[in-house]
Structure 1
């Protein structure tokens, strides 16, 4: 679906966001959305038992809304926590505990974020992070496939993941995308500073 060979990352992002808007308006989209949500529920049922803190995102620009299954996961055990990202001025993210109904503030990018000086909502180091993809790619080396995320271009997640992985090598980072967003090397390839995803979730399932 994506035909953007040889164009700049900026124009590629713009085209992908335009296509995502069109995709979300299609009659088949609710069915695809349900498929993705049920795959998240399966992951949380099978592997969520070992997790204590999961970071999610507040959806913007037709991103998949994953709040419902994660709120359900958190409510089933009082030791479980959810967190939302807060963008710091130094272009790193802090993840603050989030509960349904909390007041949020818009960032300069228009994303709703936690209030950073709320003493009842501490910073958490998540065990698992769900990240929305604008586009994604997969590359195989030595029999192992790595998945990469094309985001909005700010580099916040790459910087943050690099730090968090040093603290917690078992951190699970899951990209959320759609099959049609897959990019080939002629369209986009990951740079040395890009952090790989541990898993990628599309309507085809959970790719590891």
Structure 2
């Protein structure tokens, strides 16, 4: 079975594994503190996403960290990196390519600054590789930030049920995350490296 076919089969299993109910307030407190611990001294811009398909919602964590405005992605019409724009609660959102909610096209762009990026995922393994939906948008975005020399800490957000016990099939373009945060655990450097 090809890597593409393996990933497609895993996506089906892991999307179904997402719980119907989101994390408790106590779990969001835990996750917010885990995010705060990863923030570099001197500050950084928080980049996140607006959830679809029962993804873990990062906004309750963002509210606890009070980082507004945050950077949210706009999905390009053709495969490529995401276009991150600044957004604060109450500002308008457009409907994106995959029925996502995105900042308005005229929202300010993300400046050349340090970023702590919270990424959605379908699944992850103990090596901190993520399985996404297969479009490669986040992998291309992380690669673009790094090519420009922009400091980015990439952290996946997931439910505990999305942890895959075996190594995920990976390709050369798959970016390894700095960490993954779940409602009960933090997977970071030094674990199964």
| Alignment pair present for 1:182 and 2:182 | no
Cα distance between partner residues in 2 of 1:67 and 1:58: 8
CA distance in structure 1 between the aligned counterparts of 2:23 and 2:38, rounded to whole angstroms: 25
Unaligned runs of 5+ in 2: 189-193
Structure (1/2) with the larger strand percentage: 1
Secondary structure at 2:125 match in 1 = strand
Partner of 2:88: 99
Structural RMSD (CA): 2.3
What's 1:192 paired with? 172
Mind listing any 5+ residue stretches in structure 1 that lack a counterpart? 1-6, 140-146
Looking at structure 1, the residues matched to 35 and 116 of structure 2 have their Cα atoms a distance apart, in angstroms, of: 11
Q: Distance in 1 between matches of 2:101 and 2:51?
A: 9
Alignment TM-score, normalising by the size of structure 1: 0.76
TM-superposed deviation, 1:104: 0.7
1:42 partner SS: helix
SS at match of 2:119: strand
Q: 2:182 aligns with which of 202, 205, 208?
A: 202
CA contact (8 A) 2:17 2:161 kept: no
Structure 2 counterparts to residues 131-170 of structure 1, below 5 A: 131-139=119-127, 147-168=128-149, 170=151
Distance in 1 of aligned mates of 2:163 and 2:121: 10
Corresponding residue of 1:144 = none
- Asked if residue 24 in structure 1 is aligned to residue 20 in structure 2, the reply is yes
- In the TM superposition, what are the counterparts of 1:10-159 in structure 2 within 5 Å? 10-20=8-18, 23-25=19-21, 30-31=23-24, 34-35=26-27, 37-48=28-39, 50-74=42-66, 81-91=69-79, 92-118=81-107, 121-125=108-112, 127-139=115-127, 147-159=128-140
Q: State the secondary structure of the residue aligned to 1:9.
A: helix
Moved over 6 A (4+): none
TM-score (norm 2): 0.81
